[in-house]
Amino acid sequence: MKTFEIKANEFSQRLVTVTTALTPAFLIISILLLALFNGFLEYLHYREIIGTWSAILPGIVFAILRFGSGLGGIKMIQNQEAPRGVFFVFVSIGLTSWATSHVSEIAQSIAINPEQVANAKWFVVTALWVALLGELMIAAYMQSVQEKLDKELKMATIRKKPLRKTTTYTEPSASGSNLNAIGFKTNSQQLVADLQRAKNNLAAYESKLRNGVGNPDSMQNGIDRWKNKIALIESALSQ
């Protein structure tokens, strides 16, 4: 029993989802059929006035204008061209009002007998204004869909946008640890490094002199020079 209830709920949810997704298609088909039907009503009306063949053109023109103005306005509103879209919707409202202005004559043209003129009048009014309501409904629906898509696109762009790396600059202080951390040595550290390098050079010259490598006089001059430099560095460190 529970399994049946679960499957029934899943089927209901899927049916609602599919039906909701098809809402724009249903509305567009309804608008198209109503626009064609309104054009046909105009054809029946003008047929009694100007003849069968002559009435075809006004009927077709009215149907195309009615359908084109409605869906054209919807498309423009969807493309965020609200002023033009509203203008097209107003054109559709104007066509509906114009057809309504002679609805009594249309009713007399399509009524089977004089007793049905009143019913025919309400039938025509319903067909005219339901088509307009359908256009407004789909315009509102598509505007909502477009706003949702824009919001999702904006959120996706924000998520994909790389974070900017910020670098912080640390103001150097007088302490030797901070200077050493950013690649600089303090005066005492530099002197210690120079002292070690001078001692290494002195040891190298003394080794060469002992082993008879190179000119003895040059080696001795190098030893004296590095000894003097070591003395100067040690004196600077002691201050």
The tens digit of pLDDT for each residue in 33-51 reads 888 888 888 888 888 888 8
Distance (Å, whole) CA 229 – CA 191: 11
Contact indicator for 207, 226 with CB cutoff of 8 Å: no
Distance (Å, whole) CA 49 – CA 57: 13
Judge if 147 and 185 occupy the same domain.
no
* Total number of residues shown for the chain: 239
- Rg of the chain in Å (alpha carbons): 47
The tens digit of pLDDT for each residue in 127-174 reads 889 888 887 887 777 777 777 777 777 777 776 665 554 444 444 444
Model pTM?
A: 0.53
Judge if 124 and 81 occupy the same domain.
yes
Is pLDDT larger for residue 175 or for residue 151? 151
Judge if 105 and 193 occupy the same domain.
no
Residue 174 lies in a domain: no
Judge if 98 and 55 occupy the same domain.
yes
Residue 76 lies in a domain: yes
Judge if 74 and 138 occupy the same domain.
yes
Distance (Å, whole) CA 177 – CA 183: 10
Question: 133, 160, 187: which is the final residue of a domain?
Answer: 160
What does residue 91 show for φ and ψ, rounded to 5 degrees? -60, -45
The tens digit of pLDDT for each residue in 54-91 reads 889 888 888 888 778 877 877 787 677 778 888 888 88
Residue 130 lies in domain: 8-160
Residue 168 lies in a domain: no
